Amino acid sequence: MLIVKKTFSFISLFAMVILLSGCQSMSNYFDFGGRADAGGLRVPLQADVTKHEFDLSGDQALIGELAAVDTQERDTLPDIARHFGLGYNDITAANTTVSPWTPAANSRVLLPLQFILPDAPHKGIVLNVANMRMFYYPKKDPNKVYTYPVGIGRDGWNTPTGMTSVAVKTPNPDWHVPPSIHREHAAKGHYLPSVVRSGPDNPLGYYAMRLAIGSYLIHGTNKPFGIGMQISHGCIQMYPEDIEVLFKKVSVGTPVRVVHDPYLTAWHNNMLYLEANEPLEKWLLSKRQLKKQVIKELGKLAKQHHADVDWNKVDRVIDRADGIPTPILANSSDVAELSSKAVQLAHPTRLYGQPVVETLNDSDWAMLVASFNNENDAQKLAAMLNHQGPPIPARKVQNANTYQVVAGPFKNKKQANEAAGRIRFDFEIETKLLKPKLNLTRS
């Protein structure tokens, strides 16, 4: 049994674990009770907000709107992000004071669903790795854009920038494991087969589009809660529900442009906006030059529209790097005011894809994963296990003065041992098998 006495970085651990490896609006689906504003008045709640499909007019460069939702018990920010079409990077950067894995109930979560389009031709797929977001411009409908969060290559395996195209589309793809990944897993005592067939254990998900460059793919994933992270060996990963939609829309030959644009500008409704994202590690040494370039662009736009820029605010937006398009003219709204005016949404009855943990009975196989002195850390680890791909059902159990993480139920000893092997490989934790009628009672 592992007893953990110190808090450790679950965010870093979760990212490591992942890289190793569309809901409709319905009036009866939401609670429209309203939310009290600062004056105590009830503010009507909106059912939903546009997340993926946007109309464009003229040279429009800003789309979407900010929204907000209040958390409920057992929510996580990754659950909320997926439901509302955001990535892990989007929701955590916009909500730095909210615990990603254990947010307190009734915490207000800002949903940064407003985006500035990359400065690139509106043709085919444009992917901005800096904010891990894809934009698709359909050839047959030039006044439309679709946008989706993505996962990209981690440092050392960066998703390449430049022009390419969709070369091959494959539903239900098999994963032919590259030698480099074979070696990476073997170094930890985990041996992969040469080919992983289509199914829940396949990290490509159920749809893949091969690009006309190297062996890079745009594909789904069996670890959806890694979207919005640098998690892959260079491929572009999407939520399963998003790749399914895009796969049907995109044809072979569709152009794909990959850019790294951390600083984006837009003139919209007589206001100048700046969206700032932290440059990826590969480009960090160029951060000063990138900042000079965007300042030059802002000055050009301000002069063109006879507007005055608040340059101190520009510096603050760049330092904040939260991905929220922010007005930067003199006397314009700050991010706190923007947040306060965000559309307040009703919380869905259930967030899309949110794990449901089965009840653990005495007759089930289970395992003791770890014990903590800190309740919050136990809840974090349980949440992370529930968000594995495929999920490992887990819950927090109080036992005297410690908090234990118990995984299960499992159908049999073999399934329990397979889960134990995954936990050992991904988390470097040795578990203790709990035989039927010997496991702990769920609290």
Contacts of 328 (CB under 8 A, 6+ apart): 272, 273, 274, 298, 309, 310, 313, 314, 317
Of 22, 20, 384, give the one whose Cα is nearest residue 203: 20
DSSP letter at 348 equals: B
Place of tokens 């009830």: 42
The residues facing 394 across adjacent strands are 407
- Helices 413-427 & 10-20 angle (0-180, nearest 10): 110
Q: List the beta strands (DSSP E) in 263-352.
A: 263-268, 271-276, 326-327, 343-345
- How far apart CA 230 and CA 332 sit, in angstroms, is 34
| φ, ψ for residue 27, nearest 5 deg | -60, -30
Token duo for residue 152: 């990209």
Any alpha helices (H) in 60-193, and if so which ranges?
A: 77-83, 88-94, 179-186
Active site residues: 219, 235
CB 392 within 8 A of CB 385: yes
CB 18 within 8 A of CB 223: yes
